[in-house]
Structure 1
């Protein structure tokens, strides 16, 4: 399978909306925001992200099909990675390959990440890409309506 990262286009946003509003993805990610549920908030969020020169945003393609997105954001001393792969593409190694490519594009270190403690797949992706567990915290998971444990990871 060919994995490619490319600049995000307007057409990608419809796919991102479908992915971010998928109940299974929301449950798995747990830490959701208003833009996961409301199209107006989604449009505002993505306009801000796409216009922020500090954000490194890429659309993830798997065999030329939009599979998700990956990004690095935040100030230099707190740069964080995030990625979303649509449920129809899970279990195929796409997230690992996309994240590996994304961190090759970003020179800043350290990079930080977080994943809900029961999201073993995401933690495994981060560890395969060189991130190590550096702590744990708790955060409110809107998708689950409760506080959850979050594993913090760092790539030095």
Structure 2
């Protein structure tokens, strides 16, 4: 029940707005702290306590949708969780924009309930965009990294040349 309620709250506020989520199970209580809107007052982060006061207008809190370039391949989140760009605190990120990744290379990690799931390139390419910050909450299927595929790694089109 708590997981379902937490999923509903994240759907309402948008995962990129949730800065801190605290859940207590005795007489269920939920505390959500939101990041301020871009361009807004950073000191004006909202806090809701209990499931009733955590409800917000979902249209006002919708996260912006990134539109990848038509020639790039998005690498998406394998699960809901926290995206880690670095393998460990103090270590450099797995990849930066402009880096080349081979098929199977780790591009990041998604942590959910202390389980780390690798975000893996399914084909070789050059990192053209990174859509989320380190330690940002992400949704399943959310684009994390865009790859510009290597021409040699393109799937065949079925056309024959003579």
| TM interval, short-chain normalised | under 0.3
**Structure having the higher Rg:** 2
Higher helix share: 1
